Amino acid sequence: MANAQDDDRAEADIRGPLTIERRGAVLVVGLDREAKRNAINDEAIEALDACFSTIPPGVRAAVIHGHGPDFSAGLDLGEMTELDVAAGVFHSRLWHRCFEKIEFGPVPVVAVLRGAVIGGGLELAAAAHLRVSEPSAFYALPEGQRGIFVGGGGSVRLPRLIGVARMADMMLTGRAYGAEEGERLGLAQYLVGEGEGFDKGLALAQAMADNAPLTNFAVIQALPRIADSDPRVGYFMESLVAAMAQGDHEAKARMRAFLQKRAGKTKRPD
């Protein structure tokens, strides 16, 4: 099915295996190796690293998607066959540095998932802050059947989403999850109709871009660290971050707007 995320490739800035375009305050980043099911090679990692290292001024959120029917079929195995142990370590750390710039960068990131979300593609999706899935999406970690192990941070991020036992099952047996079960387990926060993922992801990114930048930054930077810390340390960190956020001039302006009934109220979900 045609999708809005594929319609604007001609207008995007094409940087090797990526397309990059600006939609207001949102940066839209597309994996553009459709013939390889958007398998991630070193060139793609370097391009993603460069992209998320230099977020343009005025960008407040980002969307990552895959051109074509798949988000990403994972690591391009053609680049792995000649690596020795030492080179393998450095290769994995290359992925870590790139994905850390997505997870702990200056802006929240939405991943739009459809088709294959496999191996390294799932690791990339897990580095995003929100994930939107279409019904065609399916999730797998076939590393066990390939004789390898996850190397893009999946052993850290994915157990936080689905637990160690489920991740071990996926790697040991080749078990795959469809979109509906994946959303229920936590691999995606949103499940929408086929062809609707990009528009939903863009709308979420635009909504986050309207937040106070300091609040977004605190959610990205502080929340995961608080969740991983000793509760006593976490409570103290929370107090510091809360005081910092509410002391910001934009927060004060937003609170005054709410008190003066110039801001929308939280509504019951439909």
Nearest to 195 by CA among 115, 89, 101: 115
Q: Is 259 helix (H, G, I), strand (E, B) or coil?
A: helix
Strand duo 26-31 + 18-23: pairing: antiparallel
d(CA 14, CA 161): 32
Active site residue 123: yes
Query: Phi and psi for 215 in degrees, rounded to 5?
Result: -65, -45
Q: Of these residues, 123, 134, 183, 196, which one is catalytic?
A: 123
User: Does the CA dihedral 179-181-183-188 come out positive or negative?
Assistant: negative
Q: Of these residues, 103, 134, 143, 183, which one is catalytic?
A: 143
Residue 108 CB-density burial (10 A; 0-12 exposed, 13-18 middle, 19+ buried): buried
Strand duo 116-118 + 138-140: pairing: parallel
Nearest to 79 by CA among 64, 69, 94: 94
DSSP 229: S
Contact 217, 245 (CB under 8 A): no
Nearest to 27 by CA among 208, 188, 205, 216: 205
d(CA 192, CA 8): 21
Active site residue 180: no
Q: Which residues are catalytic?
A: 123, 143
